[in-house]
Structure 1
Amino acid sequence: MGFSLQSAYGWCTSRPRALLTRDIVLSDDGSAGGHRRLERIALMAQRMASWGLLLPTREVVMAQGPPDLTKIIDLAELAEGLGFDSVWVGDSILARPRLEALTTLAAVAARTRQVKLGTAVLLSALRHPVLLANEAANVDILSNGRLILGLGVATKNPTIEREFAACGVPFRRRLGIFEEGVEIMRRLWTDPQVTFQGRHFQLTDVSLGLRPVQPGGIPLWLAGGVDAAMRRMLRLGDGWFPNPSSPRAFADAWARVQTLGREMGRDVSGLHRCVYTTLNINADVAQAERELRAFVEGYYNAPYEVMMRAQGLCAGTAEACARWLRDFALAGAQTVVIRFGSPDQVGQLQRCAREVLPQVRA
């Protein structure tokens, strides 16, 4: 059993490697029985994985003219009809303008019935936790318990720092604000009254009239791939939501999370693992590469080669993209959120559902 790795140009090679499948590190012992065991476990991992779509809420704002929300809602409805398990929205107020995350998900909730609705990821430190807890509970009610909050703390760069300053949030204090906010939201969703005396927030006998449908509150999946972020996620999160550059990078990071979990006494078996990756699917590999490069450079205003080292990008045939997604599942991912790096979002979604996911789920 090989472990396929995405190259810089959208094709995959196969190399012998131990497979990290869910919670167990596996390696082929060379015997026919060992090979068959690996195949069975790998097949189980593929079939258990769920597949999500990142809705292009930034792209509709970047386009000329007023943003067209109907395109987003129609795409979410189409994704549900094509068998996707979840739909997701990004978040930024000023740094990368887009449709607001939670109000967009509320609109999507009205047109869908089964898909999970998630943020990928929301910068919760930019919001007061009482307000965010109330808004999120409202979306969970509107969707009948389908909301997942992917949360991040933001990385240091001038654009993000200006965004925090404009929102009146000291960037250097964002980690403390984030952690206190998570605790406050969880308590507001479950406790009759909340009194909290922290460095950043103080509450006295606060009750939230709206409670999420989901018992215990809305799941919180925390982003981050460095040790400090992993430790924070292990302390505070229900799930982990990194943005790895490749399946191998994710496998290595997940192994690190397991090590840290043992050190911290956190049982990671119930920790949901979700990854985020960008695809362009085309039988013409050169065209797929051109489209993905143009998308990434326009989106981030940064060279493609730089972004390729920072996040997972795959341009190529349906077979190559299926291998890429399959390898994330083999590496331990339980949910894979797919963003399409293309101006043709509908075409890419249909191609993925028709040509890629059947190979991954087979």
Structure 2
Amino acid sequence: TIAQRNPVLLALQWASLDVLSGGRTWLAACMGYPASQHPMAAKELEVMGVQSQERPARLEEMIQALLWSDEHASFHGKYYSFDDVNLLPKPGQQPCPIYIAGTPRSIQIGDRGVERSLRRIARYADGWMTNQIELERFRDYVARLRDMLAEEGRDPNAFKTVLYYGISVNADPDQAFREAKTFLDAYYQKNFTRQGVEIWNACGPVEHCVECVRGFIDAGVDHITIRPIGDDLNEQLRLYLEEVLPGLNS
């Protein structure tokens, strides 16, 4: 949750990770849940001294404040301020890619809120990471982002998209769903509906899982982070590698 962090410390931590990884990191920046969405989110914001409504502005300011390129950087904003700071080590990548993570929805923040969220991504990020998103919504947002990137004077073809997506492989689709729901309910301490599970997880036979993932590939996603879910995660990983992945490559 980037809106709750210190920009100097975060820049140092991430630069160190980038050096250790040989320049292979991406920073996925998210603002976190609003206080109204979950008691744990409200407590976290309270402990960190951050007002829920400040999260979007803090996210934007944090991205601008990250001092990865200048030898001696200064920044003065509403939430963060520092003078003449020299960060060492510098990240292996220049610049270090920053992805904004999130899936804005009109039902939660209104149409204008969605527009502002997409504009923020187009203006400040090198890419967009999303989950819990329908295929048609993904297509729509990608098209809108490409238009906004052009309006911001940026190259839409250099912008990348990442999908975080779960897979529960089972010849019995009902069993695949049950295992996925049990896993997600326990992990997130929520009671997911069927729609809440299936919107971001492929649950069913190999052919169905291939079709679900293929849909996003055909829609233009650049990278997919696959998360195996179910009762036996090692078996789910094996099924993905040995049966689903070959179907995607065929």
Query: What TM-score do the two structures reach when normalised by structure 2?
Result: 0.88
* Residues 115-168 of structure 1, C-alpha deviations (whole Å, 9 max, x = no match): xxxxxxxx1112101001100111111111111111111232243122111122
Partners of 1:336 and 1:272 lie apart in 2 by 11
Partners of 1:296 and 1:204 lie apart in 2 by 44
Aligned to 1:143: 21
1:260 corresponds to 2:144: no
Find the residue that maps to 2:163 and give its secondary structure: strand
Higher relative contact order, chain-length normalized (CA < 8 Å, sep 6+): 1
Partners of 1:318 and 1:254 lie apart in 2 by 27
Letter in 1 for 2:163: V
Aligned to 1:197: 76
Find the residue that maps to 1:215 and give its secondary structure: coil
Change beyond 3 A, Cα 1:285–1:308: closer
Find the residue that maps to 2:68 and give its secondary structure: helix
| Residue 244 (structure 1) shift | 4.2
Partners of 1:132 and 1:222 lie apart in 2 by 15
Aligned to 1:360: 248
1:239 corresponds to 2:135: no
Report if the CA contact (8 A) 1:284-1:317 is conserved.
Answer: yes
Report if the CA contact (8 A) 1:244-1:275 is conserved.
Answer: no
1:180 to 57, 61, 84: 61
1:154 to 20, 32, 44: 32
The 5 A counterparts of 1:125-144 are 125-144=3-22
Partners of 2:238 and 2:216 lie apart in 1 by 21
1:340 corresponds to 2:228: yes
Report if the CA contact (8 A) 1:242-1:276 is conserved.
Answer: yes
Partners of 1:298 and 1:290 lie apart in 2 by 12
* Residues 304-337 of structure 1, C-alpha deviations (whole Å, 9 max, x = no match): 235247x412100111101111111100101011
State percent identity of aligned pairs. Answer: 32
Deviation >6 Å, runs of 4+? none
Partners of 1:190 and 1:343 lie apart in 2 by 45
1:171 corresponds to 2:49: no
Report if the CA contact (8 A) 1:280-1:314 is conserved.
Answer: yes
Find the residue that maps to 1:357 and give its secondary structure: helix
Report if the CA contact (8 A) 1:296-1:304 is conserved.
Answer: no
Change beyond 3 A, Cα 1:345–1:267: same
Find the residue that maps to 1:189 and give its secondary structure: coil
Partners of 1:214 and 1:266 lie apart in 2 by 19
Partners of 1:149 and 1:344 lie apart in 2 by 30
Partners of 1:124 and 1:239 lie apart in 2 by 16
Report if the CA contact (8 A) 2:123-2:149 is conserved.
Answer: no
Letter in 2 for 1:349: L
Report if the CA contact (8 A) 2:29-2:59 is conserved.
Answer: no
1:270 corresponds to 2:149: no
Change beyond 3 A, Cα 1:244–1:306: closer
| Residue 190 (structure 1) shift | 0.5
1:227 to 101, 111, 115: 115
Find the residue that maps to 2:28 and give its secondary structure: strand
Q: Which runs of 5+ in 2 are unaligned?
A: 104-113
Aligned residues: 236
1:320 corresponds to 2:198: no
Aligned to 2:111: none
Higher strand share: 1
Find the residue that maps to 2:26 and give its secondary structure: strand
Q: Which runs of 5+ in 1 are unaligned?
A: 1-122
Partners of 1:248 and 1:158 lie apart in 2 by 27
Partners of 2:33 and 2:156 lie apart in 1 by 25
Report if the CA contact (8 A) 1:224-1:230 is conserved.
Answer: no
Higher helix share: 2
| Residue 344 (structure 1) shift | 1.6
Aligned to 1:297: 185
Aligned to 1:13: none
Partners of 1:260 and 1:207 lie apart in 2 by 34
Aligned to 1:64: none
